[in-house]
Amino acid sequence: MMNGKESKKESDIYIINYDILAKHPWLVEREWDIVIADEVHMIKSPKAARTKACLAILKKAKRRIAMTGTPIMNRPVELQTILAALGCDFAQNWFAYVTRYCAGSRTKWGWDVSGASNLDELQAKLRSTVMIRRLKKDVLTELPAKTRQIIEIPQNGFSSVLKNEDKIMKSYQEKKKELAALKKQAKEQKDEASFAAKIDALKASMQIAFSEIAIVRHETALAKVGFTIDYINDMLESEDKIILFCHHQDVLDSIFQAFPGIAVKFAGSMSAEDKQKSVDRFQNDPDCKIFVGSTMAAGVGITLTAARLVIFHELALTPGAMSQGEDRAHRIGQKGNVLVQHLVINGSIDSTLAKMLKSKQEIIEKALDKSSESEEIEL
């Protein structure tokens, strides 16, 4: 096991975190018999330092194994870097891959690879070359089912935050429509250069609006903390233990502090030792009823099978991040049916986001799985 402070040591086996690979450049100097990249979706971004460092090591390996339950966190383009590293011929050429499987197209402002296309073909190629994918319902027949459910919170008492959300969303949508119209006009007049400055300015304005959306979502998350605390208290009457996921640190702390003595928290700012103590106590202490965790920090690498109820106070922006969080409970060792609940205010941005996440999840399942699992968000 290596950390960021250790120098080169002679050994046959090394275990190392992605984030410190770049601090050990000597790892690239030797040829490896086998390299196993666990949670390989962590190297989906080709520009990230961790990805560059990992790819350099993978290239020096005689054999390579990539492991993850969520190879696509958001869209098919995220697979390209991983597939290329594994030696897939059809993924070596980035342009050919994104054109064929990501509905990629070149625009005046760069390549748009946010889409999805020819997914049946992509799945066939994956299964015939490098992908061995097993659904939990097929290989873990003893693992109970998982169900997703939307809990819509009444708008009463949230009129102020909903008004702010509505104002920001309308502004963003108007800018989005204006940008689409401007691009269409530029294309029809075949004079994109004269529109470039206007389009750049409008895109910058949209980015500001998007940042404002994040701010109002944070305000909404804070506003519904009281509801979530009451909801957890109600659920504790029928559930022994509950897992709750949040995104923002102040939201997480507010909910954690409402349950002194019976809750543990798991945040990115905590030490590895304290994180493990939280997991161990939740799993083994019958008096510990609630696990309050950060979706990003607690979404991978830990087991929380002591609970069968998983609640999301805030929604992540990708279906993969949500699935990772759910699967902290839905894994080997779970003896009950896992219920996943998303708490959203009726008419809020998160209620719309839930529909978007469902759509993205369907794209991911079509690309990877022969048939979709019956684990869809109920809308």
> Among the CATH numbers 3.40.50.720, 3.40.50.1980, 3.40.50.2000, 3.40.50.10810, which is that of 18-137?
3.40.50.10810
Structure tokens at 85: 């590293």
Q: Which residue has the higher pLDDT, 78 or 265?
A: 265
What pLDDT score was predicted for residue 371?
42
168 burial via Cβ count (<10 Å: 0-12, 13-18, 19+): buried
CB 85 within 8 A of CB 60: no
Residue 12 has a pLDDT of 83
Confidence of residue 365 (pLDDT cuts 50, 70, 90): low
Distance CA 70, CA 102 (A): 18
Helix (H, G, I), strand (E, B) or coil at 223: helix
The tokens describing 23, both together, are 């601090």
pLDDT (mean) for 207-217: 83
What is the pLDDT, as a whole number, of residue 47?
Answer: 86
Q: Which CATH class is domain 140-156+224-368?
A: alpha beta
Residue (of 379, 374, 326) closest to 354 by Cα position: 379
Is residue 145 scored above 90 in pLDDT?
no
Look at residue 303 in the predicted model and tell me its pLDDT: 93
pLDDT confidence bin for 193, thresholds 50/70/90: low
pTM of the entire predicted model: 0.61
pLDDT at 4: 56
What pLDDT sits at residue 236?
94
| Integer angstrom CA distances of residue 349 from 128, 151, 159, 352, 377 | 40, 14, 13, 5, 16
Q: Which residues contact 118 (CB under 8 A, 6 or more apart)?
A: 100, 101
Q: How confident is the model at residue 201 (pLDDT cuts 50, 70, 90)?
A: confident
Report the pLDDT value the prediction gives residue 147, as an integer from 0 to 100. 83
pLDDT band at 337 (very low <50, low <70, confident <90, very high): confident
pLDDT value at 267 more than 80? yes
Inter-CA distances, 256 with 93, 117, 292, 325, Å? 48, 43, 6, 18
Q: How long, in residues, is the chain?
A: 379
Instruction: Give the pLDDT score at 375.
Output: 38
Match 């939740």 to its residue by tokens: 282
> What pLDDT sits at residue 376?
37
Using pLDDT thresholds of 50, 70 and 90, give the confidence band for residue 97. Answer: very high
The full DSSP string for 91-142 is GSSHHHHHHHHS--EEETTEEE------HHHHHHHHHHHT-----HHHH-TT
In tens, the pLDDT along 224-241 reads: 999 999 999 999 998 999
pLDDT interval class at 378 (50, 70, 90):
very low
Higher-confidence position of 146 and 218: 218
Q: Which residue has the higher pLDDT, 6 or 54?
A: 54
pLDDT digits (tens, 9 = 90+) for 13-38: 889 988 888 888 888 888 899 999 99
Whole-number Å distance between alpha carbons of 286 and 291: 12
pLDDT over threshold 60, residue 6: no
Rounded mean pLDDT, 295-305: 90
Residues 355, 69: Cα–Cα separation, whole Å: 22
Residue 260 has what DSSP assignment?
Answer: T
What is d(CA 337, CA 307) in angstroms, rounded to the nearest whole number? 10
Q: What Rg do the C-alpha atoms of the chain give, in angstroms?
A: 23
Query: Residue 69 and residue 324: Cα distance in Å, rounded?
Result: 8
Output 11 or 363, whichever has higher pLDDT.
11
